[in-house]
Amino acid sequence: MKESLTDRLLQLMSDGQWHSTEELVAKISHRFSATQHVLKKRGYKFEKRRIEGQHHEYRLVTSPKAIAS
């Protein structure tokens, strides 16, 4: 069975580190932000920061399990 985009994004970002737009496009999809939106509706929280010009990085900061604890 093929892994879903949400599963792939969570697996990649579960390290709590910053991930660039370029990395997310290459490893997830050019629509990674739509995948983040789905996860936000499920209670996940992401941070976004601009690193230079129009370049951004993202990281996962909380999950529904962390909130419930």
Q: Tell me if the pTM is above 0.75.
A: yes
Could you list the beta-strand ranges (E) of 1-69. Answer: 19-20, 45-52, 55-62
What is the model's pLDDT at position 40?
Answer: 96
Which of helix, strand or coil describes residue 3? coil
Our count of domains for the chain comes to 1
CATH number at residue 31: 1.10.10
Rounded Cα–Cα distance for residues 58 and 53 (Å): 15
Return averaged pLDDT per consecutive 10 residues of the chain, 69 residues in all: 88 96 95 95 96 93 71
Give the phi and the psi of residue 50 in degrees, each rounded to 5. Answer: -85, 130
* Segments forming the whole domain that contains residue 33: 5-68
